[in-house]
Amino acid sequence: MPMFRVCALGVSIDGFAAGPNQSLENPLGVGGLRLHDWMFPTRAFQRVHGKEGGTTGIDDDFAARSFENVGAWIIGRNMFGPVRGPWPDESWKGWWGNDPPFHTPVFVLTHHARAPIPMEGGTTFHFVTEGIHAAAERASAAANGKDIRVGGGVATLHQFLRAGLIDELHIAISPVLLGSGERLFANIDMLKLGYECAESVATPKATHLMIRKQK
Amino acid sequence: MPMFRVCALGVSIDGFAAGPNQSLENPLGVGGLRLHDWMFPTRAFQRVHGKEGGTTGIDDDFAARSFENVGAWIIGRNMFGPVRGPWPDESWKGWWGNDPPFHTPVFVLTHHARAPIPMEGGTTFHFVTEGIHAAAERASAAANGKDIRVGGGVATLHQFLRAGLIDELHIAISPVLLGSGERLFANIDMLKLGYECAESVATPKATHLMIRKQK
């Protein structure tokens, strides 16, 4: 069965999945990029971004798993860009340049309709205004039997978690303090929602935890 | 210089330092004992509780550090016991039996005065009604040049952190979800308070993080 997966979600010691004040300069908020220090140098991450080389080992294994068997993505409006409210024009096409690292259909949750944007490398951005269940259905159809990867931000993740739609989360706790930002586990009771930690592996750069919904 | 240290503070993946509903049966709240699974079997923990044997290695090293060079403790009322409000009588003497594992003077923060309680093995419980600064002064004097260890609960820790009194925190993140309880880093900005993560070491049972106040 295809799964809905959250992968490579960086979290700080103090529980933030992004820093404060997301902007064009700081897509993950101030300090937020540090949450991915474990991932950037890995071979899997480098390869998805069209580069060769990179580190191998546990961090790379988790990075590789995050890209494996993904047939479609669902992301929130804030992960797609810093633009808020109605689209002022068609110019914003994501943070990632002409060849974004998804290489699948990407369903962007938004309150403001917009025509699909085909990009290079297999990525097409689709805009979904009918909510998470509509996005889940469209992504499932597009994934063609593969898994659906659900990205951030935290508000999007909470909607999916509360709806019971997420099968598996991989979070990576980095040894950094962010102080403020988007708190991953605020106002959400993961135990009541049926999740438990199934796997824990640590490297000097991150503690990797696989959290799964009990059947 | 003697330091004010928080040591061996267990935290869940979702950020709780204790489970919900602390009671006589659940001193650390429901599920809270699981936050210390890394520590209970260690040689250092066993020795402090008068037993021989135990595991060695990284978890034991951190358990041992938590007991080293401690001249006095400060703990909150809720760490001392489940009794709330005025002391109904003198019968409650802590969770730990006649020979508590402190073996130093222990200053208990409370709004309700009570005579000191000398216990076996060098522990004496003193009750401080004048707040954290008075407790810090009395504990410093009693520690006689050694460090002061500050225990929980979270409300006590927040008071000390906000007052800039804590030099070092060792937290141990366990691979468990508690869902609810006492959240360690809610409503406190560790970055603004001047802390940063100085050390990160993981074992299969816990990720140990040393967080220090920048000078």
Kindly list the residues from chain B whose CB atom is less than 8 angstroms away from the CB atom of residue A31: 191
Q: What is the pLDDT of residue A155?
A: 94
Q: Encoding tokens for residue B25?
A: 């049966």
Given a cut of 90, whether residue B6 has pLDDT beyond it is yes
Given an 8 Å threshold on Cβ–Cβ distance, is B202 in contact with A203? yes
Q: How far apart are CA B133 and CA B73, in angstroms?
A: 14
Q: How far is A105 from chain B (nearest CA, A)?
A: 31
Which residue out of B11, B13, B62, B161 would a mutagenesis test of the A interface target, given it has the greatest number of A Cβ atoms within 10 Å?
B13
pLDDT of residue B83: 86
Q: Is the pLDDT of residue B70 over 90?
A: yes
DSSP annotation of A55 = B
Please answer yes or no on whether A186 and B186 come within 8 Å at the CB atom.
yes
Q: Which residues of B6-44 are buried (b: 16+ CB within 10 A; e: fewer)?
A: bbbbbbbbbbbbbbbebeeebbbbbbbebbbbbbeebbb
CA–CA dist A56, A46 (Å, integer): 11
**DSSP-based three-state secondary structure for B2:** coil
A23-49 average pLDDT score: 93
Give the pLDDT band (50/70/90) at residue A24. confident
Mean pLDDT over residues A70-93, rounded? 94
Q: What is the pLDDT of residues A161-202, one digit of tens each?
A: 999 999 999 999 999 999 999 999 999 999 999 999 999 999
B78 neighbors B25 (Cβ within 8 angstroms): no
Tens of pLDDT along A100-138? Answer: 999 999 999 999 999 999 999 999 999 999 999 999 999
pLDDT above 90 (res A25): no
- On chain A, the residues whose CB falls within 8 A of the CB of B190 are 14, 177, 179
pLDDT at residue B215 in the model:
78
Digit-coded pLDDT (tens) for B164-190: 999 999 999 999 999 999 999 999 999
| Of B192, B200, B207, Cβ closest to residue A179 | B192
Q: Which helix (H) or strand (E) holds B51?
A: none
Q: Return d(Cα A213, Cα A132) in angstroms, integer.
A: 18
Percent of chain A with pLDDT over 90: 93
DSSP state letters, A96-112: S-SS-TT-SEEEEE-SS
A203 and chain B in contact, CB less than 8 A: yes
Q: How many CB atoms lie within 10 A of CB A48?
A: 18
Please name the member of B178, B191, B209 whose beta carbon is closest to the beta carbon of A175. Answer: B209
Check A207 against B207: CB less than 8 A apart. yes
Q: Is the per-residue pLDDT at B151 higher than 90?
A: yes
Using a CB-CB cut-off of 8 Å, the residues of chain A touching B189 are 179-180
Q: Do the beta carbons of residue A127 and residue A151 sit within 8 Å?
A: no
Inter-chain touch A175–B186, beta carbons under 8 Å: no
Domains of chain B: 4-20+29-82+98-213 (3.40.430.10)
How much of chain B, in percent, has pLDDT values that exceed 70?
Answer: 100
What does the block give as tokens for A151? Answer: 């990205």
The angle formed by the CA atoms of residues B77, B81 and B84, to the nearest 5 degrees, is: 65
Q: Quickly list DSSP for B133-162.
A: HHHHHHHHHHHTTSEEEE---HHHHHHHHH
Percent of chain B with pLDDT over 90: 93
What does pLDDT average to over chain A? 96
Does the reported pTM lie above 0.90? yes
Give the residue-averaged pLDDT of B102-115. 96
- Which residue in A130, A133, A80, A82 sits closest to A108, CA to CA? A80
Asked whether the beta carbons of residue B180 and residue A171 sit closer than 8 angstroms, the reply is: no
pLDDT of residue B76: 95
- Answer yes or no: do A185 and B209 touch at CB < 8 A: no
Asked if residues A166 and A213 have their Cβ atoms less than 8 Å apart, the reply is yes
Q: Could you please report the per-residue DSSP string of B55-112?
A: B-SHHHHHHHHHHTTEEEEEE-HHHH-S--SS-SSS----SS-SS-TT-SEEEEE-SS
